[in-house]
Chain A
Amino acid sequence: MVVDPMSDADLDRLFQAFADATRRDIVRRVTVAEYSVSGLAALYAMSFAAVQKHVAVLERASLVTKEKRGREQIVRGNHEGLQNARRLLDEYEAIWRQRVVRIADILAEG
Chain B
Amino acid sequence: MTVISSTKNLEALSFTLIAEFDAGVERVWQVWEDPRQLERWWGPPTWPATFEQFDFQPGGRAGYYMTGPEGEKAGGWWLFTSIQAPSQLEFDDGFADDNGAPVEAMGTTHAVVTLEDLGGRTRMTINSSFESEEQMEQMVEMGMEEGMKEATGQIDAILSEHARA
Contact = CB atoms under 8 A, between A and B. Distances in A.
Interface of A: 1-3, 5-6, 8, 11-12, 14-15, 18-19, 24, 27-28, 82, 84-86, 88-108
A26 to B, nearest CB: 11
Interface of B: 1, 3, 6, 8, 10-11, 13, 15, 17, 19, 21-23, 27-28, 31, 37, 40-42, 44-45, 124, 126, 128, 132-134, 136-137, 139-141, 143-144, 147-149, 151, 154-155, 158
B126 A98 contact: no
Contact of B133 (A15, A93, A99, A107): A15
What DSSP secondary structure best describes chain A's contact surface?
A: helix
B8 to A, nearest CB: 4
Helix, strand, loop or mixed for chain B's interface? mixed
B141 A100 contact: no
Nearest to A12: B134
B5 to A, nearest CB: 11
Given A99-B42, A100-B19, A103-B21, A93 B8 contact: yes
